[in-house]
Amino acid sequence: MAFFNWDDRYSVGVKNIDSQHQTLFAIVNELHTAMLQGKAKNIAEPLLIKLIQYTQEHFSAEEKLLASVQYPQLPGHHLLHTGLTQQVEDFLVRFQSGERALNINLLNFLQDWLTKHILSEDKKYGPWLNQHGIL
């Protein structure tokens, strides 16, 4: 069983966005697998970099979509994305300057970082997108 399982609770009601979020979950699961296999030291850094890159792509795709339907909360949502990107970049810097050990606390941080935003903020735009014909 994966560390970080997707279920309908995380759905924002828009297929394309859900699948991008699922990809983010999958990268965190890859980190977890690496940790369990004791390979974390070698592959954690490229995986963290992959997570940051994919996160940035996702945030910009999400913001583009929200802009296309004049989502009223977009400016605030953009600021949240900036803050989250900063957090995960700081996380990488700490990882690179520390002992480079990957442990469950770090994975819990990533899981928290991702789920809180999806559940509390991304879910808010779902109905607006649906009303504008984006499903």
By beta-carbon proximity to Fe ion, the closer residue of 47 and 122 is 122
Residue nearest Fe ion, Cβ-based: 122
**Residue count at the site for Fe ion (CB under 5 A)?**
2
By beta-carbon proximity to Fe ion, the closer residue of 110 and 122 is 122
User: Which amino acid belongs to residue 45?
Assistant: E
**Smallest gap from residue 18 Cβ to Fe ion (A):** 9
18 touches Fe ion by CB under 5 A: no
Q: What is the 3-state secondary structure (H, E, C) of the chain?
A: CCCCCCCHHHCCCCHHHHHHHHHHHHHHHHHHHHHHCCCHHHHHHHHHHHHHHHHHHHHHHHHHHHHHCCCCCHHHHHHHHHHHHHHHHHHHHHHHHCCCCCCHHHHHHHHHHHHHHHHHHHHHHHHHHHHCCCC
Q: How many CB atoms lie within 10 A of CB 18?
A: 18
Site for Fe ion in 57-116 (CB under 5 A): 62
Among 47, 65, 122, 129, binds Fe ion (CB under 5 A): 122
Binding piece for Fe ion, criterion CB under 5 A, among 28-36, 41-49, 93-101, 120-128? 120-128
By beta-carbon proximity to Fe ion, the closer residue of 10 and 45 is 10
Euclidean distance between CA atoms 92 and 53, whole angstroms:
12
By beta-carbon proximity to Fe ion, the closer residue of 20 and 29 is 20
**Smallest gap from residue 15 Cβ to Fe ion (A):** 13
Contact positions toward Fe ion, by CB under 5 A?
A: 62, 122
